[in-house]
Homo-oligomer: A and B are copies of this chain.
Amino acid sequence: MSDRVYKLSEIVNTSTESIEKAIQAALDRASDSIRNLRWFEVVTTRGYIHPEHGLYYQVTLKVGFQLED
């Protein structure tokens, strides 16, 4: 544990299904450009009501990833 250095980023994503799906999609998308994702914290849970497409859940996540040597 002594030499683990982490960096935090904030990302936002949405899902029409559930809060968990919005979290998973955000993490999937983040892992495209960030390796070694280790944890996240939900900063805000919001949503939008689209007149035609209905309800969107939107999460803002703070994600932590391990810096590589």
- Partner-B contacts on A (CB < 8 A): 1-16, 18-20, 23-27, 29, 33, 37-42, 44-50, 53, 55-57, 60, 62, 64, 67
Contacts and interface: CB of A to CB of B under 8 A. Distances in A.
Given A23-B47, A45-B42, A49-B37, A5 B13 contact: yes
How many monomers of this chain does the complex have? 12
A5 B29 contact: yes
In order of increasing CB-CB distance, the 10 nearest A-B pairs are A8-B10, A6-B12, A42-B45, A41-B46, A5-B29, A39-B48, A37-B49, A40-B47, A5-B13, A18-B20
Nearest to A15: B2
B9 A7 contact: yes
